[in-house]
Amino acid sequence: MAKDFLNVIERALMMGVSDGINVLTEDGENIHVYGEFPEVEELKFPAIIIEHTGSGFEEQFMGQQVTLGGTSGTGETYGASYTIHLICEKETTIQVGTNNFSTTDAYYKQRRLLNWLMMNTANTIMDLNWDTYDEDTTQVLERHLNSWQNIGFIPDLQWYGASADFLITFTNIR
Amino acid sequence: MVNTVKLGSLNFPKLMRQIGQRTNQVRDLVFMRDAIFNKETKTRKGPSGGDLAGPAVNFGYENNLNTNVAADTDDSLYHVITPELTLTGLKAVQTPIISRSGELERTGHRITGSCTFYMPSLSYIRALPEFSETTQFDELETYDKLMDMERIIQNPADLTADGDSADLTIDLSPGSTYPAGYEIDRIQFKIKITTDNLTSITLNGVQGGAGKALTWTATDTFTPSSFVTIDLPVRDIESGSTKEIQLSGEGKTFTANPVTLDLDKLSGDSNNYLSSLVIATSDDKSVELKDIYLYKEAEWRVETIKDYRDEYMEIGAVRVRGDRTSRRRTYG
């Protein structure tokens, strides 16, 4: 069966982000992770949207011989890029975990919530252990999370949001 | 019709009846909506299998299931079975009837078009027989489809007969005629059977000199004791594919098997023509068939909806799947 790395990694990334950031909230159930911009009926806030923006060969090796999980075959380093979007509504409130540098007021809203989401999403992505979430053997070689951009408020929608580009490389084998 | 439905100062249904007597602008449409499948989700980690913190991760894409899921369970989200809807009996004033604009695009030549449907208020539509009985229908939505008969290719005479197969075989090539099939997209007819079940609908043809057939078998057998409208596609059908039609609020599934007939290849000569339509029932009781149409469809996708409450609705629709019949005939 052909390897399905792009799906395995995308799913692991979504599961890892959801698992990692929800444990930082008081009741552990509030932050919703989506694999694409969700349909209106499904959208709940705060939302983390992992948008797959590109993928392709990163580097080929001489002879293209690679080993993965005890299997040898033809392969190369493959890259995939994502844009991580954070969105919360003006009235979205999250009670952050008490061990998470909270002050006496642990209910975060608006820009304070967005800042918390940016910091902790970044931490979660950089700490993500792929082996915990992968549904098939993968070897992620590098990960690069760029800075959060377009941080702001959209008055028409009453949304706070930010986006960051994320790039990973992994071993592709066939 | 529920008598509490307000007809508005225009009385649009009456207006449609009057226009319909003088013109063909009032169209008898088939309402269609695609099935909504379960979403692919996960609530447990990969190989270790522990619970994921937070709500179920919704990957966004559908899987191929359409099942009831009561609440969050392992790797699934709430879902209620939502089959495809095919509802007949929706009338609307359409202007224009045919709208075509051809454009050469990356994928080839594509025909598009747009039109406006004027139809009675939503409360009136919700009270129509099939619409009121189908619990999955609440309102018209964008991306819903309205299927119109762009051209009626064959309109066999109405038929009242007992239910043996010889009497329910409609000759589509009387005398030495060889009707073509490539223009036909769908078949529609009204049927009433005294006590038996409708079991199958078969379209027969001669293709390359050999007899071929397309049979829609009623997987859910039913007795249409009063007239019901059956509307099924007959072009580009793969064996084993299914279609669901809502009759009196219940989805009735039809399965295509066997499918050896390719209508696009019936160019209308003595070796390639449409020969007969056979309606099969479970026994030999009296059957009435009327308004039998083999037609070229016009698939309109709802794009804008303006609801003027009790008066009428204005539906902007676009045609996105038009093609050129000449190419159909040529390339088969």
Q: What is the pLDDT of residue B49?
A: 75
List of chain B residues whose C-beta atoms are within 8 Å of the C-beta of residue A35: 58-61
Q: What is the pLDDT of residue B3?
A: 62
Position B86 confidence tier, pLDDT thresholds 50, 70, 90: very high
Q: Helix/strand/coil (H, E, C) string of chain B?
A: CCCCCCCCCCCHHHHHHHHHHHCCCEEEEEEEECCECCEEEECECCCCCCECCCCCEEEEEECCCCCCECCCECCECCECCECCEEEEEEEEEEECCCCCEEEEECCEEEEEEEEEEEECCHHHHHCCHHHHHCCCCCCCCCCCEEEEEEEEEECCCCEEECCCCCCCEEECCCCCCCCCCCCCCEEEEEEEECCCCEEEEEEEEEECCEEEEEEEEEEEEECCCCCEEEEEECCCCCCCCEEEEEECCEEEEEEEEEECCCHHHCCCECCEEEEEEEEEECCCCCEEEEEEEEEEEEEEEEEEEEECCCCCEEEEEEEEEECCHHHHHHHC
Q: What is the pLDDT of residue B73?
A: 60
Distances (CA, A) of B205 to B84, B127, B152, B289: 29, 40, 18, 21
Backbone angles phi, psi at B87, to 5 degrees: -120, 130
Is residue B306's pLDDT more than 80?
yes
Q: What is the pLDDT of residue A121?
A: 95
Task: Calculate what percentage of chain B has a pLDDT beyond 70.
Answer: 93
List of chain A residues whose C-beta atoms are within 8 Å of the C-beta of residue B39: 42
Greatest mean pLDDT among A29-43, A88-102, B76-90, B228-242: B228-242
Q: What is the pLDDT of residue A103?
A: 57
Residue of A nearest to B54 (CA): A29
Cross-chain residue pair A135–B46, CB shorter than 8 Å: yes
- Among A15, A29, A35, select the one facing B60 at the smallest CB separation: A35
Cross-chain residue pair B54–A133, CB shorter than 8 Å: no
- Give the homologous superfamily in CATH for domain A5-173: Phage minor tail protein U (3.30.70.1700)
Residue of A nearest to B57 (CA): A33
Is residue A166's pLDDT more than 70?
yes
Domain definitions of chain B by residue range: 12-19+22-34+85-331
Is residue B101's pLDDT more than 80?
no
List of chain A residues whose C-beta atoms are within 8 Å of the C-beta of residue B54: 18-19, 21-23, 28-33
pLDDT, mean over chain B = 88
- The answer to whether A47 faces chain B, any CB pair under 8 Å, is no
How far apart are the C-alpha atoms of B328 and B332, rounded to whole Å?
A: 5
Indicate the range of A1-5, A74-78, B218-222, B249-253 predicted with least confidence: A1-5
Which ipTM score applies to this complex?
Answer: 0.83
- Which of B39, B52, B78 is the best substitution to test chain A (most A C-beta atoms within 10 A)? B52
Residue of B nearest to A24 (CA): B53
Cross-chain residue pair B55–A135, CB shorter than 8 Å: no
List of chain B residues whose C-beta atoms are within 8 Å of the C-beta of residue A30: 54-55
Q: What is the pLDDT of residue B186?
A: 95
C-alpha distance from B147 to closest chain A C-alpha (Å): 26
**Stretch B67-72: mean pLDDT, rounded?**
80
What DSSP line would sit under A147-174, residue for residue?
Answer: --EEEEEETTTTEEEEEEEEEEEEEEE-
- Among B46, B55, B60, select the one facing A36 at the smallest CB separation: B60
Indicate the range of A19-23, A26-30, A120-124, B101-105 predicted with least confidence: B101-105
Name the token pair of B264.
């696009």
How far apart are the C-alpha atoms of A27 and A48, rounded to whole Å?
A: 18
Is residue B118's pLDDT more than 70?
yes
- Which of A9, A17, A18 is the best substitution to test chain B (most B C-beta atoms within 10 A)? A18
How far apart are the C-alpha atoms of B22 and B20, rounded to whole Å?
A: 5
List of chain A residues whose C-beta atoms are within 8 Å of the C-beta of residue B48: 132
- The answer to whether A28 faces chain B, any CB pair under 8 Å, is yes
- The answer to whether A135 faces chain B, any CB pair under 8 Å, is yes
**Tens-digit pLDDT profile for residues B178-236:** 999 999 999 999 999 888 888 999 999 999 999 999 999 999 888 888 899 999 999 99
Domain definitions of chain A by residue range: 5-173
Cross-chain residue pair B54–A33, CB shorter than 8 Å: yes
C-alpha distance from A138 to closest chain B C-alpha (Å): 12
Position B70 confidence tier, pLDDT thresholds 50, 70, 90: confident
Please name which of B300, B325, B321, B320 lies closest in space to residue B95, comparing C-alpha atoms: B300
CB B8 within 8 A of CB B312: yes
- Among A23, A28, A134, select the one facing B47 at the smallest CB separation: A134
**Tens-digit pLDDT profile for residues B139-157:** 999 999 999 998 999 999 9
C-alpha distance from B76 to closest chain A C-alpha (Å): 14
CB A129 within 8 A of CB A19: no
C-alpha distance from A120 to closest chain B C-alpha (Å): 15
Position A64 confidence tier, pLDDT thresholds 50, 70, 90: confident
Q: Which residue has the higher pLDDT, B261 or B7?
A: B261
**Tens-digit pLDDT profile for residues B312-328:** 999 999 987 767 888 88
Is residue B92's pLDDT more than 60?
yes
Cross-chain residue pair B57–A15, CB shorter than 8 Å: yes
**Tens-digit pLDDT profile for residues B10-52:** 888 899 999 988 988 899 999 999 999 998 888 888 766 788 8
Length of chain A (residues): 174
Cross-chain residue pair A33–B48, CB shorter than 8 Å: no
**Tens-digit pLDDT profile for residues A107-135:** 888 999 999 999 999 999 999 998 888 88
